[in-house]
Homo-oligomer: A and B are copies of this chain.
Amino acid sequence: MTRVLYDLCGLDERLRFSPYCWRVRYALAHKGLDVEARPWRFTDKAALAFADHDKVPVLVDGDEVVTDSYAILRYLDRTYPEAPLLGDGQAEVRGRFFKHYAERALAPAMMRTIIMDLFNAIHPDDRAYFRESREKRFGRSLEEFHSPAKGLAQLDAALAPLRGHLEDADFLDGAAPAGADYLVFGFFMWARCVSSADLISNADPVHAWRERMLDCHGSLGREALRVTDIEGAYR
């Protein structure tokens, strides 16, 4: 059986930076499941028509087609119950808060910091689409939205609860990483792959957690190609 993940790529096919796809890559590694991470670009909507969807991640697992990163984590728990990612009941409901925290508190702060790096990392053929859709969402140009000073201050505030949490345990899910860690860490992979911006001081407990996350599952994150590894791509 072939398991395929449609995975956003940038100006180089090996450059993979979608935070939502990284959640799934880590979730699959957590379950010990192999996957072919097939490169996909923003404008290649036709390639996802079979899934009746227009965004990645899309997971094709045998006959099953699953879209949306959180739904994919839930699907993996149902189908491969060993090593739960999110679990059930109260654990799952609480786990979902990490999704909202990552998407609504961390991601906007990171986005303000790295948006021009992100734009630069995208495939040239996707840039017009990216600019148009994001400028519509932000209500201003990418250049106006871009503000590392504001973004980093916002991120510093947004990380406060995470710092408290990591004073108690090595991972968001306790002694070992699981769903809550992957839901949040996807955004750190996103920033790491497209930018060399220094988001967190190395004295921050979040920094140490990020290092542990880069190392886990056979250094999955640390081995990922970054735009800074591509000659001439990083301005």
Task: Report which A residues bind B (CB closer than 8 A).
Answer: 84, 87, 89-91, 93-101, 103-105, 108, 154, 157-158, 160-165, 168-169, 172-174, 178, 180
Contact residues in B for A180 (Cβ distance below 8 Å): 93-94, 97
Q: Evaluate contact between B173 and A90: CB separation under 8 angstroms.
A: yes
Contact residues in B for A174 (Cβ distance below 8 Å): 90, 93
Q: Evaluate contact between A101 and B101: CB separation under 8 angstroms.
A: yes
- Report the 4 A-B pairs with minimum CB-CB distance, sorted nearest first: A100-B164, A94-B94, A104-B160, A91-B91
Q: Evaluate contact between A168 and B96: CB separation under 8 angstroms.
A: yes
Q: Evaluate contact between B178 and A90: CB separation under 8 angstroms.
A: yes
Report the minimal beta-carbon distance from A167 to chain B, rounded to whole angstroms. 9
Contact of A169 among B93, B160, B161 (CB under 8 A): B93
Contact residues in B for A90 (Cβ distance below 8 Å): 84, 87, 91, 95, 173-174, 178
* Nearest opposing residue in chain B for A168, CB measure: B96
Q: Evaluate contact between B93 and A161: CB separation under 8 angstroms.
A: no
Q: Evaluate contact between B154 and A94: CB separation under 8 angstroms.
A: no
Contact residues in B for A99 (Cβ distance below 8 Å): 164
Q: Evaluate contact between A172 and B97: CB separation under 8 angstroms.
A: yes
CA A100 – CA B163 in complex, angstroms?
A: 8
* Nearest opposing residue in chain B for A94, CB measure: B94
Q: Evaluate contact between B161 and A101: CB separation under 8 angstroms.
A: yes
Q: Evaluate contact between B97 and A161: CB separation under 8 angstroms.
A: yes
Contact residues in B for A93 (Cβ distance below 8 Å): 169, 172-174, 180
Contact residues in B for A96 (Cβ distance below 8 Å): 165, 168
Report the minimal beta-carbon distance from A1 to chain B, rounded to whole angstroms. 29
Q: A93-B180, A97-B165, A105-B158 are in contact. List 9 more A-B contacts (CB 8 A).
A: A90-B173, A97-B172, A97-B180, A100-B165, A101-B101, A101-B161, A104-B160, A105-B157, A108-B160
Report the minimal beta-carbon distance from A32 to chain B, rounded to whole angstroms. 19
Report the minimal beta-carbon distance from A135 to chain B, rounded to whole angstroms. 21
Contact of A97 among B97, B103, B108 (CB under 8 A): B97
CA A95 – CA B157 in complex, angstroms?
A: 21
Q: Evaluate contact between A94 and B105: CB separation under 8 angstroms.
A: no
Between-chain CB contacts (< 8 Å), 20 pairs:
A89-B91, A90-B95, A91-B94, A94-B94, A94-B97, A94-B172, A94-B180, A96-B168, A97-B101, A97-B172, A100-B160, A100-B161, A100-B164, A101-B101, A101-B161, A103-B164, A104-B163, A105-B158, A157-B157, A157-B158
